Amino acid sequence: MNIILAENSGFCFGVKRAMKLAFDAAKCSKPLIYSLGPLIHNPQQVDLLAQKGVHEVSDLDRLVSGDTLIIRSHGTTPDTIEMAKAKGINIVDATCPFVVNAQRFAQALYKEGYQVVIVGEGDHPEVIGIMGFVENSAWVVENASEIKNLPRRKRVGVIAQTTQLFDNFREVVCAIMEKSEELKVFNTICHATTHRQEAAIDIANRANLMIVIGGRNSANTNRLVSLCKIAGVNTYHIETANELVPSWFESANTVGVTAGASTPEWLIEEVLNKLKSFNRKNS
Ligand code: SF4
């Protein structure tokens, strides 16, 4: 069986940067380094980080002056940063520059008097963080069907959660046109996400079976799974190589592999090696 690894699989620029900042901080700081929530949406990499001294906490309560807090690539609210600073906590800001863009556009729209709309998932940390930049005033919508329930506003400004599907974003923007006199749109979807999704679709169109590697809590990995399924190919979502089942591949000539932005290279390698071992057993 042929095994094709999609381009742009695994860590994106923003996650790579966050990992480097975290490992550097762990090397040169006292042992107490924390992230608010998992630093990335990949349980295996979070375990590795914990072994290196980067621990996940759910709030700032147990942190004391002199501790270090790493802000995740998803970013956080300005209030959280202020609270941490007030407690004397050192901040390592690993917010992805693309997320910073989304935060800045949202804040600028808010200050200019636009009703801000965020196209994304309301419970995602990135969206919760952006909300903090608009005093929690934004409407969060996941898809165009939700627009009909919203009231009309004179001026509406739209941004996207960085991992949104472009087609979904466009549909929401079109639907909002009917609800506003003036519409300002910032396409804040990150290029890494778009390229990864395009590469996954390309491979899915050529493969009999797709393996998508990544945390089950990772929004962008779950989107890759949906896209491969929409392309009509049998698709399995796994977190580790141990989940691969030999019988899946019995009638697959070409297997495509892709991975979410928070999937480390070592996990991808393990999956590829296991797939190659199935090949050897069958030859
Ligand atoms: S997916 Fe894009 S926005 Fe998110 S961390 Fe990676 S580079 Fe940044």
Q: What confidence category does residue 165 fall into, taking pLDDT thresholds of 50, 70 and 90?
A: confident
205 alpha carbon – ligand 1 mean position (Å): 25
Highest mean pLDDT among 8-12, 23-27, 157-161: 157-161
Amino acid letter at 259? A
pLDDT of residue 193: 85
| Mean pLDDT value of segment 228-257 | 96
- To test the ligand 1 pocket, which listed residue (96, 121, 161) has its Cβ within 8 A of the most ligand atoms? 96
- What was the pLDDT predicted at 129? 98
Question: What is the C-alpha separation between 3 and 235, in angstroms, rounded?
Answer: 14
Kindly give, in sequence order, each residue whose CB lies less than 8 Å from that of residue 215, ignoring residues fewer than 6 positions away. Answer: 40, 41, 42, 43, 221, 239, 260, 262, 263
Ligand 1 interacting residues, C-beta cut-off 6 A: 12-15, 73, 96, 98-99, 162-163, 190, 192-193, 220, 261
Give me the percent of the chain exceeding a pLDDT of 70: 98
Tokens matching residue 196: 């990864």
Catalytic residue set: 126
Determine the atom of ligand 1 nearest the C-alpha atom of 12: 6
Ligand 1 midpoint to CA 209 (Å): 27
Nearest CA to ligand 1 atom 5: 14
Cβ-Cβ contacts under 8 Å for 149 (sequence gap 6 or more): none
pLDDT single digits (tens) 47-105? 999 999 999 999 999 899 999 999 999 999 999 999 999 999 999 999 999 999 999 99
- 271's torsion region: left (phi>0), alpha (psi -120 to 50) or beta? alpha
Kindly report the number of other CB atoms within 10 A of residue 234's CB atom: 14
Ligand 1 atom closest to Cα of 97? Answer: 8
pLDDT average, residue stretch 232-248: 97
In this structure, the residue with its CA closest to atom 2 of ligand 1 is 190
Confidence of residue 31 (pLDDT cuts 50, 70, 90): low
DSSP secondary structure of 159-225: EE-TT--HHHHHHHHHHHHTTEEEEEE-----HHHHHHHHHHHHHHTT-SEEEEES-TT-HHHHHHH
Mutational test site, ligand 1, from 8, 15, 95, max ligand atoms within 8 Å of CB: 15
C-beta atoms surrounding 51 within 10 Å: 8
- pLDDT given at position 30: 64
Q: Which residue's alpha carbon is nearest to atom 7 within ligand 1?
A: 14
For 168-184, write each residue's pLDDT tens digit.
999 999 999 999 999 99
Taking the centre of ligand 1 as the mean of its atom positions, its distance from the CA of residue 33, in whole angstroms, is 22
Residues contacting residue 169 through CB under 8 Å, at least 6 positions apart = 119, 160, 187, 189
The answer to whether residue 27 scores a pLDDT higher than 80 is yes
CA 281 from centre of chain: 36
Judge contact between 114 and 90, C-beta under 8 A. Answer: no
Q: What is the pLDDT at residue 283?
A: 61
Q: Closest ligand 1 atom, CA of 13? A: 7
Q: What is the model's pLDDT at position 220?
A: 87
Is 253 exposed, middle or buried (CB count within 10 Å of its CB: 0-12, 13-18, 19+)? exposed
Q: pTM here?
A: 0.86
CA-to-CA distance for 199 and 197, rounded, in angstroms?
5
Percent of the chain whose predicted confidence (pLDDT) is above 90? 84
| pLDDT tens for each residue of 187-238 | 999 988 889 999 999 999 999 999 999 999 888 899 999 999 999 999 999 9
Among 8, 9, 11, 13, the mutation site with the greatest number of ligand 1 atoms within 8 A of its Cβ is 13
98-155, pLDDT tens digit by residue? 999 999 999 999 999 999 999 999 999 999 999 999 999 999 999 999 999 899 999 9
In whole angstroms, give the CA distance from residue 65 to residue 245. 49
- Lateral strand order in the sheet of 54-57: 54-57, 33-36, 68-71, 90-93
